[in-house]
Amino acid sequence: MKFIEADGLRLPAIAVGCMGLSGLELSKAKAFIAGALDGGLNFFDHADIYGRGECERLFGRVTASLKIPRESYILQSKCGIVPGTMYDFSMEHILESVDGTLKRLNTEYLDALLLHRPDALMEPEEIAEAFERLERAGKVRHFGVSNMHPYQIELIKSAIGQRLFADQLQFSPAHAGMLSCGFEVNMETPGGVMRDGGVLEYCRLHGIAVQAWSPFRYGFFEGVFLNDAKFEKLNEVLAELGKKYGVEKSAVVAAWILRYPGKMQVVTGTTNLTHLQQIAAGADVVLSRQEWYAIYKAAGHILP
């Protein structure tokens, strides 16, 4: 398994996203989590809103039932979204959210906490106070953000004393505006519109890991591009490369994301152990430059 390091946290290239965990029965959740750990996949990504807290609660039940040593896995969760209502980065909300997460996960600490989508009303000083209290109490060891552009990150960094180790961003061959705006600079093309403020390059410059969520989706939850007739050419290229490297198409997608030279991490979303293992095989595949660009173009993007 490939690893990266950000702010002293050693991250496996493949993270197990737990958004769908609440859809499993306890016995199946046990098998999934135990199987992931057996395969060296020990980074679990949560959020307080996933399953309205049930995903964290089920994970906590599983680790307690299986008596899994806490030091054998890495726990990350996110806070800041009040579903359907608002985003909230107030100190009170952050502290309350983390306490709820710790209780549901049945743990004394999080290895990492991400602020989940930007709060336009955030006060950096309040975030700094919350982070300081959480770190001092031993409740959170590393901090990061999710779905933020460089100036939002800089605003938070203006007050906090900790380094931000990660930014979780939607990224896939079919959702690659963070790349196309760089290729199509100064062009009046749809791909030339910069929607992220150059966040990929910013993260590289500052040693921030990019955690790619929804790696197999296009749009904002419109659908999965694997085996979708709308992405016939992309699937053809993925299948050809999968055959060459002896892996599934999902692994080729993971390899494509990890080929970007920043600190990259793929956040899976499956709760099927076989699918998870297939995706993880992509961490051992290194695509050539030509293959990487072939996938990019097959997804419908242009190279001017």
Q: What is the pLDDT of residues 78-114, one digit of tens each?
A: 999 999 999 999 999 999 999 999 999 999 999 999 9
- For residue 265, give both structure tokens: 């991490």
- Cα–Cα distance between 208 and 45 in angstroms, integer? 17
CATH code: domain of residue 138: 3.20.20.100
The residue type found at 273 is L
**pLDDT tens figures, 253-266:** 999 999 999 999 99
Pick from 145, 93, 90: which is nearest to 114 by CA?
145
pLDDT at 221: 78
Please check whether residue 161 lies inside any domain of the structure: yes
- For residue 58, give both structure tokens: 């089920």
45: pLDDT strictly greater than 90: yes
Please check whether residue 151 lies inside any domain of the structure: yes
Number of domains in the chain: 1
pLDDT at 190: 94
Please check whether residue 304 lies inside any domain of the structure: no
| Chain centroid to CA 49 | 15
pLDDT at 1: 82
Please check whether residue 207 lies inside any domain of the structure: yes
Residues belonging to the chain: 304
Task: Count, in order, helices (H) and strands (E) of the chain.
Answer: 11, 14
Please check whether residue 303 lies inside any domain of the structure: no
**pLDDT tens figures, 212-232:** 999 999 988 789 999 999 999
The beta strands (E) that lie in the chain are given as 3-6, 9-12, 14-17, 43-45, 74-79, 81-82, 86-87, 110-116, 140-146, 164-170, 209-213, 217-218, 223-224, 264-268
pLDDT at 220: 84
Please check whether residue 280 lies inside any domain of the structure: yes
Pick from 268, 270, 273, 269: which is nearest to 257 by CA?
268
- Cα–Cα distance between 286 and 277 in angstroms, integer? 17
- Percent of the chain at pLDDT > 90 equals 98
What's the pLDDT band for 191 if we cut at 50, 70, 90?
very high
Please check whether residue 177 lies inside any domain of the structure: yes
**pLDDT tens figures, 144-184:** 999 999 999 999 999 999 999 999 999 999 999 999 999 99
| DSSP strand pairing (43-45 vs 140-146) | unpaired
Please check whether residue 240 lies inside any domain of the structure: yes
pLDDT at 247: 98
273: pLDDT strictly greater than 90: yes
pLDDT at 50: 97
Q: Which pTM does this prediction carry? A: 0.96
The residue type found at 21 is L
Domain extent at residue 168 = 3-298
Pick from 7, 9, 4: which is nearest to 163 by CA?
7
CB 13 within 8 A of CB 3: yes
Find the distance separating the first CA and the last CA of the chain, reported in whole Å.
Answer: 35
